[in-house]
Structure 1
Amino acid sequence: MDITAFTSFDQTFTHQPSRKNRVCISFYQRFQRFAIDDTDGTLVCTGLDPPCHFPSRQINLNLVSHQLSPRHLFRLIDSRLHDRTLSRRIAEKIAAEAVQYVGFLQPYVMSVYVVKTQQVVSLREEEEEEETQKEEEEPTCAICLEGLYKNDETFDLPYCSHRFHSTCIGEWLQSHDSCPLCREILLEENVETDFGLESFLSY
């Protein structure tokens, strides 16, 4: 977990004594990727993705100087974040940054960036290929949602070429005139005869 803070003076300062300091806490996530070494089974880092461009969450605080103690900040942050360890770390970071601006009359804007690194173990290329190949080898019938296997009696619809179990598409065409997937119209005048679909209408 990386926590950084940057502070600049508020350019909209209007010499109001009650003007508060603004603290914006932004949360980002990035991924550190690992692969398994085939030779010894150890994890090898293959790269660290940059943080996402947009924060996953933000917490905005408007505070006067006496509210910038670690204890007070912790209560404010944890009431929204509900993570005591992280809330304490952020509070300590903000308090340490705020100390540098004690005594200044001009309010400031503090931007706090919290970047969480999540470790991800990638499948080996062979495993990824096997998973892809398995998905490609096991298409399903969109009507019954069962697999379309080599020994099954199937039918490819004309025009769109979508494949279904013969009995499934036969029953479907008893009450529909289109492909169950793309809705291509099939049974217009004499079309069923041209494509031999009349045999399915007898089911």
Structure 2
Amino acid sequence: GEIPAQSGPVYSPEALDALGNNNAGASGTGNFTQSETSILAFGNTVILGFNDAGSNAGGANKFTGWSYSFDGGATFTDGGTLPTNAGGDAGDPVLARNETTGRIYYSTLGFSISTIQVFRSDDNGVTWSAPVNGTPGGSSEDKQWMAVDNFPGPGNGNVYLISRRFGSGPGIYMFRSTDHGNTFGPNLGVQIVSGQ
């Protein structure tokens, strides 16, 4: 059906333009940038994920940043860099949230490995745990996307990750976590589209 026409004035909130990242580190070179954003919003919380060239200053194997807001996006706090780990983080961020537990998932490309790293936060994106491999057995993974099953039923809380594999056995693969993002499987993933 159609929604019936409403009479009376329509009110729109004043437009808001807020800086979502700290560009202070971007002064080191003209090539520093923040790009390829992901946004997660719930209640008054807004979390931004982005490629962050400033995070890799000094060759730290980091290329992913994030910011968070607890006032509906009026102001943001730059989160800095994700936890240091052997695989690093190379951007292409994706954010997802379990609405039951509140756990937030943040996936990025691995910097020195060809997998997708999945970081987890239990404090609304202020801090993140060390990552787990979201694409076990994968090779040259890229262009991931992630979602949490937030519907009632046996799959509630499952985390689903899709990635594009350019390495051995090219195609699009799906991985799943049934333990709140602590592990992902199956090894090598489930191929849902084959070929380049």
TM-score normalised according to structure 1 size: 0.19
Bigger-Rg structure (1/2):
1
More strand by share: 2
Q: TM-score, normalised by structure 2?
A: 0.20
